[in-house]
Amino acid sequence: MEEILVTRSSMPGYEEYIEEIRELWDSHWLTNMGKKHRELEQKLSSYLGVEHVSLFSNGHMALELLLQAMNLTGEVITTPFTFVSTTHAIVRNGLVPVFCDIRPDDYTIDAEKIESLITEKTSAILPVHVYGSICDVEAIGAVAKKHHLKVIYDAAHAFGTEYKGRGVAAFGDASMFSFHATKVFHTIEGGAVCFNGEQDGLTEDLYGLKNFGIRNEEVVDAVGANSKMNEFQAAMGLCNLRHIAEETEKRARVAARYREHLTGVSGIKLSPVQKDVRPNYAYFPVVFDEKLFGCGRDEICEMLKRHGIFTRKYFYPLTSSFECYRNRYDASATPVASETSRRVLTLPMYADLTEEDVDRICGLILQAKR
């Protein structure tokens, strides 16, 4: 039996990519915000329905430098149920993450629990549209407005999703997308900051920060980094963007097949189909209740592995319990996140996963039920 990995990067045709990079041999312009870079920013701005798009070498640096550009101070309220990058971006800015629990239904930050965590040191809220599920953007926006806090979304999983007909980057002060090879849309490595409106020179600040803080030839006015997306990455993005609709459609079919098999099985909880949301089918998380299902998440994961099927315990452990954060921040206050983290498994999900593969994966899972 062939192995099935948890994900498999989408790729354009070989010829299509070669055609896209051909010009680079004429121009010899390989990085530093070249033609492909500008073209991708424009195309993404229109695809995502957001005014400003600033590209980066990866999603993590996009987030880290966005937090720096926002001049945040003190504490940032966030979720521990995420990829470790979210927490690192806060801590590497000298800020303190304050962990808020998540909702048991869609695993996004529980907006009702945010207010009790706000102190005079809080400067921002950093929620995550985890698995591509949209946070309660209205409730988060209301609490932020009341307390004059910035809202920055980690939208690494949410590329192309819409809420009430608007691209998800329209919510909050700014959003970060990751274009890593494993994401729904990718530039091999890459990422972007997106936002609407003029925000105190944010566009210029982001441009400077990804290029060493250089404002012009003689002025360096910020302690920047080097996080520029190069032309080969941008070219991959231009190609992948042409196919995003069909890729998403294929993912939708995979998700539907999983749901056919797993909906209504006692001891298995699937993510809800969210109201007013156009989803991107980025991941397929399943939460196992050991008592009802008869066997637990770890056992399922090992059993599938023996059959050459590789799932991920996303997100386990919580970021707040990693070696580098343990004993440093209070992680005990997020019981729903802890419980979910112990029970969740993300099943293989990518555009080219076949129906037969999904049938086989689900067959094995259902066989394990006791």
Residues in region 336-365 near ligand PLP by CB under 6 A: none
Report the distance separating Cα 206 and Cα 224, nearest Å: 9
What's the first-to-final CA gap in the chain, in angstroms? 25
Q: For ligand PLP, which is the closer residue by CB, 123 or 227?
A: 227
Helix (H, G, I), strand (E, B) or coil at 301: helix
String of DSSP letters for 264-279 = T-TTEEEPP--TTEE-
Contacting residue, 75, 154, 205, 247, with ligand PLP by CB under 6 A:
154
Q: Judged by CB under 6 A, does residue 319 bind ligand PLP?
A: no
The residues facing 166 across adjacent strands are 163
Q: Is 318 exposed, middle or buried (0-12, 13-18, 19+ CB in 10 A)?
A: buried
User: Nearest distance from residue 124's CB to ligand PLP, in Å?
Assistant: 16
User: Nearest distance from residue 84's CB to ligand PLP, in Å?
Assistant: 8
Applying CB under 6 A, the site for ligand PLP has a residue count of 14
Torsion sign across C-alpha atoms 257, 263, 268, 271:
positive
Q: Judged by CB under 6 A, does residue 210 bind ligand PLP?
A: no
Contacting residue, 53, 68, 83, 350, with ligand PLP by CB under 6 A:
83
User: Nearest distance from residue 88's CB to ligand PLP, in Å?
Assistant: 9
User: Nearest distance from residue 209's CB to ligand PLP, in Å?
Assistant: 16
Q: For ligand PLP, which is the closer residue by CB, 262 or 331?
A: 331
Q: For ligand PLP, which is the closer residue by CB, 175 or 293?
A: 175
Q: Judged by CB under 6 A, does residue 161 bind ligand PLP?
A: no
146 to 100, 115, 118, 122, 143: CA distances (angstroms) = 18, 10, 11, 13, 5
Q: Judged by CB under 6 A, does residue 60 bind ligand PLP?
A: yes
Report the distance separating Cα 269 and Cα 255, nearest Å: 14
Please count the CA atoms within 13 angstroms of the CA of 365 that sit on its side-chain side. 30
User: Nearest distance from residue 82's CB to ligand PLP, in Å?
Assistant: 5
CA 370 to chain centre: 34
User: Nearest distance from residue 292's CB to ligand PLP, in Å?
Assistant: 29
Residues in region 63-82 near ligand PLP by CB under 6 A: 82
Contacting residue, 85, 87, 108, 187, with ligand PLP by CB under 6 A:
85
Asked if 364 contacts 345 with a C-beta cutoff of 8 angstroms, the reply is no
- Which of 194, 232, 247 lies closest to 59, judged by CA? 194
Report the distance separating Cα 318 and Cα 106, nearest Å: 16
Contacting residue, 7, 10, 54, 58, with ligand PLP by CB under 6 A:
58
Q: Judged by CB under 6 A, does residue 257 bind ligand PLP?
A: no
Residues in region 275-314 near ligand PLP by CB under 6 A: none
User: Nearest distance from residue 261's CB to ligand PLP, in Å?
Assistant: 26
Asked if 125 contacts 150 with a C-beta cutoff of 8 angstroms, the reply is yes
Residue nearest to ligand PLP (CB): 59
- Which of 38, 65, 41 lies closest to 52, judged by CA? 41
Binding span for ligand PLP by CB under 6 A among 154-162, 210-218, 325-333, 338-346? 154-162
Strands 284-288 and 344-347: antiparallel
Contacting residue, 127, 167, 191, 285, with ligand PLP by CB under 6 A:
191
Q: For ligand PLP, which is the closer residue by CB, 178 or 248?
A: 178
Q: Judged by CB under 6 A, does residue 86 bind ligand PLP?
A: yes
Give the binding site for ligand PLP (CB under 6 A): 58-60, 82-83, 85-86, 128, 154, 156-157, 178, 180, 191
